[in-house]
Structure 1
């Protein structure tokens, strides 16, 4: 039976059964589906495509392998997350696996890279306080004290949401606990993020006036290499890429603004396609839209309750992650995949589809999350139809799993919040920016979609495009040569060594795009000259 014929037959079979009546008269259909599913599982799988790293990414990988501390930044869609995941595995080979700690500023980001929140790793607790108070908290926390002393490498993802005071406090704690004057107590640091995206959320009084992590006194000393990835993979349309780069920096030329205004006019005049994911700045709008859509169905919903194991505070982090505490599904519900299931079949994070029925689970007991022991059958917009089985999200401490969450890798997909869409790639989206606030929010929303053709826009005005002046100045320092810099020209590449010992290479032939990397020989030479 051909794949297309199989899918068509499966859809036709399951459309005849509703959520309410499925368990009564579908045993033959279920047996047929599972027999086909098992036979397909036995087929040889296509080998996973090997990632072809860019020259910039290779330089980072090489530097990390040599023990360097690095800061990785770049636009949305430049492959930061995949690179960080690869680096984590690399670090576990370079160090003892138990000495590599993977963290992120938020629970969603931490779960995406199988790590823990930065606060959880550090053991500093809440509320925030001065660095001496935080150090006392760690000293009174035996497990946190052990983590700091055991750490050989520390990964911090989504650094844009970490403020300067926290970054400085953690460096102070590391140095005090581990002894000596070496920055971060000798821990190899791998930090990733884009400061043009979502900024820190302050939960305490910031008396120093510093906001972003790069303003920390120890920032430059923390890294042997700071590199901005410039090759974008998410979007292929040069015009759209140019537009997004302008929005990222808080600017947009008149032609691009005209395109965005035309998108608004077109969206407002057309009826909204229910298959398109809607992004909103506020969680209350997301909840309202999803609940309204679910209430429009007359059938009873099937409930899936997450099953958690482990101890606090790690179990609490699972609630901050992307997998929901509870999920209500019925036939016709729009859903989004929140985990990569099968990359070669296109079943990846962000893929959307519709629930076409439910199947009684065979071989997998799911009564711990669903009392009816049912699994949803999803017809994805990209083509495949699949019974979705539970997945597991974990929180790790070094190489030890300290908490787990079992849940379906699905979310209701009529609406999502902009804050929880970082890292996602969507073919189509509608975003209502009427209630957007703060810097970077417009950029984060628009940069999720692959093309202008897939973008529906409303509530937009040019005044909502914002980038923080401090962030602009920080990224300008990557490309602009300060007065204290000694440089030399080598063909099209301008090599400079700044006062921190970082080497920046600007490729001036690439129409303004810049490439920055670390040269070990130049770095050593610059250090020797200063001694």
Structure 2
């Protein structure tokens, strides 16, 4: 991926690689947020895991759900409540080791993550990492668009949470407000090329529609809907209308139906199925690809619409508008991953624990706006008969490549084209506080300093030796006097030769940190660190050999 023409993505990458700052990567629909996520997953700059609020989002992002990874309940995470009340489940030893090894936590679709859920993550990370630091000191990369799908909170849940939070949005998380974040809005739009349409979408997004612009939008209203053969997809606010449209359209087709049964292996939860387990199709059915083609030709992509023109037990042929030849489609595989820590390399590894194999297709006369997030269509019919949640109008309109590709089933009122005031204010603040060059340099300096100081923080070794001391004393009748004395001698060396010396050395380091050069460019500091390494390494090695043997 080339970032030379996208300074915001290059900046996000610099912050990600070279600082410990929390990052909110946002931007309008089609600005490359998902592409960026897949890029950093491949490059693996830091030991990281990817989580998302829903099963489908997690599978698409190649990660796990927040609730599964952190063992959090689906109820409200009330600040100050006991773990039992919040139903935080204990983690296994392997998961704890993994959490302690992480440098980076990536949260996709952050707009759907509630503030209390983010604070639930904070509590788990503090418990198993550093209690004194928000999120246990781990760096967060949060990806999403607040102008799209909002967090869901029921009335009875909000009654419990409203005393603690001004709103359910993630940016009101107590832990996040304590630590702060750098907001980087992406600017370049890859989905639409029509400047007039982009300007209109921006008006919807920013609550700036006037009467003339609303009339312009409503010029896409059609009392008679396009014919089926024109490959329009209807976007609905709720599940029931989409399901009903697909069922009616499929039933209206003559001919025999085929039911394609998915092959499910291992652990793959039903709520994360990317398409129907039993997918019923007929000749003439309108379908949508839900995966990108892995072959060199890139014949299809996630969101491409076509029609079934032939099928047998092995697969189907799909003809898409503009294509001269139908595409032969067979089963593709989705995997469910869990993260583990490689004992030898200490690297985070993805273990496939389950798979779902099925035709990468869905019936697509209609889908919900929620499920259309992240997709691009040539032609859409927008069903605005039901009340839209904040952001749904923008999501629906921005799915389409062009203004001419949109058809409205009913005219939009101002009430339908609405953005939450809090979201608007937060987005404006992010634009006005875009990170400056000096902000990045200071963040890099702080990150390098923290990495150096961590090298000489031996408190954890002291704590482990104190635990060992307690065990030795509890079992002193079964442990030889010589073994006990060897332990006490080693413990004394830890205190005297490591902890005490490091305590005196750290103020010297902080003196070097006051000098103008960055730590990586400070020759005096580098020489001092080499001498420190020559002193500390053999003494640390002796501790290791005592505990684990030669």
Are the equivalent residues in 1 in contact too, given 2:24–2:142 (CA < 8 A)? yes
Residues 92-491 of structure 1: matches in 2 within 5 Å? 92-95=44-47, 100-130=48-78, 132-133=82-83, 137-139=88-90, 144-203=95-154, 204-205=157-158, 206-207=161-162, 208-209=164-165, 210-222=167-179, 225-264=182-221, 267-274=222-229, 275-311=231-267, 315-316=268-269, 318-341=270-293, 342=295, 344-359=297-312, 373-383=313-323, 384-398=325-339, 399-459=350-410, 460-480=412-432
Question: Aligned in 2, Cα 1:295/1:269: closer, same or farther, shift over 3 Å?
Answer: closer
1: distance between equivalents of 2:138 and 2:415?
A: 43
Are the equivalent residues in 1 in contact too, given 2:3–2:9 (CA < 8 A)? no
Are the equivalent residues in 2 in contact too, given 1:172–1:184 (CA < 8 A)? yes
Q: Deviations over 1:36-82 (max 9, x none)?
A: xxxxxxxxxxxxx8676511111111221224332101111111000
Please list every run of 5 or more consecutive structure 2 residues that lacks an aligned counterpart in the other structure. 340-349, 448-512, 515-550
Q: CA deviation at 1:518?
A: 7.7
Root mean square deviation of aligned Cα: 2.5
2: distance between equivalents of 1:518 and 1:211?
A: 33
Are the equivalent residues in 2 in contact too, given 1:189–1:222 (CA < 8 A)? no
Are the equivalent residues in 1 in contact too, given 2:19–2:443 (CA < 8 A)? no
Query: Who wins on radius of gyration, i.e. which is larger?
Result: 2
- TM-score of the two chains, using structure 2 as the length reference: 0.72
Which of 32, 35, 38 is matched with 1:79 structurally?
32
- SS of corresponding position for 2:218: helix
Which of 498, 504, 529 is matched with 2:435 structurally?
504
2: distance between equivalents of 1:136 and 1:82?
A: 35
Which of 53, 59, 65 is matched with 2:11 structurally?
59
Are the equivalent residues in 1 in contact too, given 2:303–2:376 (CA < 8 A)? yes
2: distance between equivalents of 1:321 and 1:382?
A: 30
- SS of corresponding position for 1:263: coil
Are the equivalent residues in 1 in contact too, given 2:77–2:116 (CA < 8 A)? no
Residues 42-53 of structure 1: matches in 2 within 5 Å? none
> Which residue in 1 is equivalent to 2:464?
none
Question: Aligned in 2, Cα 1:389/1:161: closer, same or farther, shift over 3 Å?
Answer: same
Which aligned segments of 4 or more residues in structure 1 are displaced greater than 6 angstroms? 49-52, 524-529
Are the equivalent residues in 1 in contact too, given 2:72–2:120 (CA < 8 A)? no
1: distance between equivalents of 2:359 and 2:93?
A: 35
- TM-score of the two chains, using structure 1 as the length reference: 0.74
User: Higher mean Cα deviation, 323-332 or 349-358?
Assistant: 323-332
Q: Deviations over 1:356-409 (max 9, x none)?
A: 1114xxxxxxxxxxxxx3311111224142211111111222211122111110
Kindly indicate which of the two structures has a greater share of residues assigned to helix: 2
Question: Aligned in 2, Cα 1:524/1:320: closer, same or farther, shift over 3 Å?
Answer: closer
Q: CA deviation at 1:298?
A: 2.3
1: distance between equivalents of 2:406 and 2:123?
A: 45
Question: Aligned in 2, Cα 1:215/1:120: closer, same or farther, shift over 3 Å?
Answer: same
User: Higher mean Cα deviation, 178-187 or 282-291?
Assistant: 178-187
Are the equivalent residues in 2 in contact too, given 1:307–1:406 (CA < 8 A)? yes
2: distance between equivalents of 1:120 and 1:520?
A: 34
